[in-house]
A and B are shown apart, each in its own frame.
Chain A
């Protein structure tokens, strides 16, 4: 749905299509974008549940084709999976070359992460134009439903610019179908988080592109990220690390009023533990049940800028 000239068909009831439309709309509007991805529903009702939904899907595909999109993706829902529609066969018989089935099957195809993985792998068939690695970076699997998704992108762009590197492709966020062919021509893939490591491995095998398994988290994690990118691309990262370390020290100085505060962490996930320990140490915090209640967001804050935004919220709670 983040392919700007693509159409997504959800083979299911209108309600399922609405859930996705509504969530994406909320994020688009929050980011002042007036673009709404086209999500076509095959509008399964009680009648199709009884007699089968393949005809309804065929009609939805014809309707999508008539709009001449760059790409059509057909997503199966739990309803179409439960009634056993042969979605691939309907798509094959449509004689439309630009159609990709993403076998999500609603919850019958696994959870949210499996769906993301399936979509990334399915659309990777459009990648690999055969060109040599060009020194650029490809972001893999940005979370399109994440409120801070573009803030994270800006932070990644800033950090990579310290190394003189640019992001060429966001696989998949706000890209055209044509741009997807650039998958495989970047020199390094950066995965959104560790849950996508199988996707990273798959792309490494297919295109020979190495990957970093996660966006940077924490002060030291961000510096390590710069070093890793430098190592992977054969770039001396010492100056970039020095610049970023100074930036972090200045930031820590800006929040010196938090130093020594009594804090209690609320709803801390296991993945946030290392970050909480780093923050305790950096700010000499005194964790316990007393003091101001602070939380670490899930997904974790990205880079130094993500930490800065989180610390502002901590300070607001601390002052309350």
Chain B
């Protein structure tokens, strides 16, 4: 068994709640203790309900308390979902077959079952989705409340698709409950680690290249016109990034970078840095089970593993969470994955599409330039304070 010091990534229960909590009109009940409720309620910023189990409920059965709560709140929502937690799952309380609660969605994803992603996907599979084969739009998936890019990604996807005249149908998981009843037959991915089973996969928007490919494929499906304006925007964006990266590389060496996050996001960032910067990737630290890649990859779901990875090969640049920033305070840092503490972030930023790639490289270039200038100033004699005269 691996050693886990300071676990950095939430459990399956939180994953399920983050999926369900994104559906407006769906009431989410955490069937567990105040401790299990407090964490998702704090980090997801959604109204959640909880049975707030106490010891007595475990002795005499917790189903009654759940039934009571369901009765109390059901009129407020179009649909209700219950996420089971560790202790009721262990004692084997049967909550799947409660009389009068047949329409309630039950997600059995106690924390001990596994990862955030597995809980999210389990909940996503259980959503009350009906595919409307006449819908002319596409669905989005991979949107999660925990993701700092979630809202920005939805906005960027809507913007890009609107250029092709394609509306967005259901968003898994950030839409109204009624949108789930009219989901489109095709789905675009924004984060392959959180893919949904709904609709035919129609490509990904993670990166400029994939975005163009995907939009091209979509226009074939919908028999629409390929938006030349998107092509021009993409070309301009790549030129702008290349120019800025060239300017940086005239003065500084390419940074060595360690990138942390969910596998698909982190792998995308590795590719972008290699493409524009010729950067050396010291490690791709994956919060979840890593997929296949040519980059050096390791699981990084505990602070001890992050420390090991960063001390083995200290990078110039870290793209990750405030955990990594804390471990390596001297490196240039780009905020990329949950949690992002000790900083204020108010603006919705995308990671996908054209604006996503521009935003990522903007953050990387600014962080590396600041770091490079600091190092230069430090190395120049007589410039301990202020700019060189």
Contact = CB atoms under 8 A, between A and B. Distances in A.
A36 B326 contact: yes
A158 B273 CA distance: 51
Interface in B310-346: 322-323, 326, 329, 339, 341-342
B7 interface: yes
Interface in A92-120: 106-108, 110-112
A152 B165 CA distance: 57
Interface string B249-261: 0000000000000
Contacts, number: 125
A18 B322 contact: no
Contacts of A144: none
B7 A21 contact: yes
B35 interface: yes
Contacts of B341: 25-26, 29-30
Contact of A43 (B1, B12, B32, B329): B1
Nearest to B59: A108
Interface string B235-272: 00000000000000000000000000000000000000
A132 to B, nearest CB: 40
Contacts of A21: 6-8, 303
B165 to A, nearest CB: 42
Interface in B99-143: 111-114
A22 B55 contact: no
Q: By DSSP majority rule, is chain A's interface helix, strand, loop, or mixed? A: helix
A258 B34 CA distance: 38
B35 A107 contact: yes
A40 interface: yes
Nearest to A40: B5
Interface in A125-156: none
Contact of B87 (A40, A44, A79): A79
11 contacts: A21-B6, A23-B39, A26-B341, A39-B7, A48-B112, A59-B1, A79-B87, A79-B112, A106-B87, A107-B32, A110-B55
Nearest to B328: A34
Contacts of A110: 55
Interface string B15-59: 000000000000000001111001100110000000001110010
Contact of B329 (A30, A34, A79): A34
Interface residues of B, number: 44
Nearest to A63: B3
A191 to B, nearest CB: 23
A112 B87 CA distance: 17
Interface string B291-320: 000000000011100000000000000000
B234 interface: no
A39 B6 contact: yes
A65 to B, nearest CB: 12
Interface string A233-264: 00000000000000000000000000000000
B11 A18 contact: yes
A46 B339 contact: no
A13 interface: yes
Given A21-B303, A32-B342, A107-B35, A79 B86 contact: yes
Contact of B12 (A15, A22, A56): A15
B87 A14 contact: no
A78 B88 CA distance: 10
Contact of B4 (A14, A32, A49): A14
In this complex, which of B42, B55, B112 has the most chain A Cβ atoms within 10 angstroms of its Cβ?
B112
Contact of A13 (B91, B111, B339): B111
Contact of A108 (B5, B14, B87): B87
B90 interface: yes
A25 B339 contact: yes
B86 A78 contact: yes
A19 B39 contact: yes
Given A36-B326, A46-B112, A18 B53 contact: no
Contacts of B34: 107, 111-112
Contacts of B347: none
Given A29-B342, A36-B303, A107-B53, A17 B4 contact: yes
A17 B6 CA distance: 7
A145 to B, nearest CB: 10
A302 to B, nearest CB: 22
A13 B1 contact: no
A260 B13 CA distance: 50
A25 B10 contact: no
Interface in B201-228: none
